[in-house]
Amino acid sequence: MIPKLILASSSPFRRMLMENAGLSFEAHPAKVDERAIEAPLERDGATPDAIALVLAKEKAKEVSDRSPGAIVIGSDQTMSLGQRTFHKPKSMEDAAGHLAALSAQTHRLNSAVALAYNGDIIWEHVSRAELTMRPLTDDFIARHLKRVGDRALSSVGAYQLEGEGLQLFSKIDGDYFTILGLPMLPLLEKLRELGAIDG
């Protein structure tokens, strides 16, 4: 019997990626305090990709602990520029600061995914993408944020590549799924291997 699949996320983008791939699944957001998990890791000098992986595993495990017999998919994404790890902007001023810092720079998105079964992590993976933003003036940033509005507050980089945020970039290295926060190709390969989806 094929086990039930659960996505441990409330992200509409991750749900859309799973639905578009034709997967049958339920979505149950994980009840974890991400900042409480991240803070000590950051203090101890953990890399942004390591932080993303810890968070993905914690989310998968938390939902798996209350969903016996299901395969639970946990995921998380961090964004880094050099040694700085970015968090979702809390205000439009914060979003403007993010875009100003990223202007004319190459930053990295670290997208982690983990599978849990009966409370145990059975697989983990991190994919990375590198995005180069074109030079942006303060005036352009202000106009751009006025157009996109509160959507700028819903992603760690203050942009949506699947929308008008695409105009901010001059170069992108990495796959679309990694950028949206769920590395679908390695995930689908592992689910087929586990017999969790039709192979």
Of the residues 65, 76, 120, 139, only one is catalytic, namely: 76
Instruction: Check: CB of residue 86 under 8 Å from CB of residue 80.
Output: yes
Report the C-alpha gap between 98 and 173 in whole angstroms: 20
Residue 139 among the catalytic residues: no
The CA distance from 33 to 62, in Å, is 11
Q: What is the signed CA dihedral for 184, 40, 10, 186, rounded to 10 degrees?
A: 10
* Pairing of β 5-7 and β 71-81: parallel
Residue 199 burial (C-beta neighbours within 10 Å; 0-12, 13-18, 19+): exposed
Integer Cα distance of 94 and 145 in angstroms:
11
Structure tokens at 48: 């942004």
Torsion, Cα of 170, 101, 108, 18 (10° steps): -80
Q: Is-contact 115 183, C-beta < 8 A?
A: no
- Which of the residues are catalytic? 76
